[in-house]
Structures are given as structure tokens and as C-alpha cells.
Amino acid sequence: MKPCACCGMLVEDGAYHPYGACLMMMAAKDSAVVQTNLDAIVRYGEDHVRGERKSLAILEADLVEKRKAVRKKIREREEDTRAAVERAILATVRVCDASLLTPEFVEKEVEEIVEEVMETAGPFWETPFG
């Protein structure tokens, strides 16, 4: 503790003592009153930070949920796209040579062609998404 050079109030090292405190001290001439007001300001700041932390944590949790939902959508749309490509392949084969549509062809060949088409098209979703 040492006296403030401005108002003479005894202040602990590193304690919050703005010029406003000096003005209060000069007006009230009572360090207890000044300290009570300073403590209230510090408490207000701490409460405010706690409130913001809570609010930001809620936003963050919401963002995590939204990211999960978007990842799910990406997976669903990729599956839908594969299914659509598969239908297009089957339709084309049916028109060209329906005799090719054996269970063996449908289960193995078509899947390989779908994979090739998807690879040629590039990554399904290119935006980095952490």
C-alpha cells in the first residue's frame, strides 16, 4: 500500500485506481466510500465478462450443432448424387443394351462406374469445414 500521488488515498500495488477515484477521494475525503465504489465497478466488470462468456458458450455450442447438421447434409447430398448417377448409368445401359443389366453388372460394374464419375467430378464439398 502506498498513497496515491494525486489524491493521497492509500492504494494497494496494482489496484484499480483511475483518475475518477482521485476525484471521488478529493470530494468525499473517505477512502472507504471510494473503495466501495471501485469494488462495485470491478464486480460489474467481472459479472459482465461472466455473462458474455456464458452467452458466447451458447453461441459456440449452437455453431457446433449447426456444423454437425451441415456435415450430415453434405453426406446425404453426396449419397443422393451417387444414387442419381447410378440411376443415370442404369437408364443409359437399359437404352443401349438391356441384356447387360445382370445382377452381377448392377452390383459391381455400376458401382465402379459411379466411383469413377464421382472422382472425375472432384471433391464433393470443397469448402474447409472444421
Which residues of the shown chain bind Zn ion in the complex (CB under 5 A)? 4, 6-7, 22
**Closest approach of Zn ion to the CB of residue 21, in Å:** 5
Name which of 28 and 40 has its Cβ closer to Zn ion. 28
Q: Which residue of this chain has its Cβ atom nearest to Zn ion in the complex? A: 4
Burial group, residue 15, by CB count within 10 angstroms (0-12, 13-18, 19+): middle
Name which of 39 and 79 has its Cβ closer to Zn ion. 39
Alpha-carbon span 46 to 108, nearest angstrom: 64
CA atoms lying within 13 Å on the CB side of residue 32: 0
**Closest approach of Zn ion to the CB of residue 70, in Å:** 54
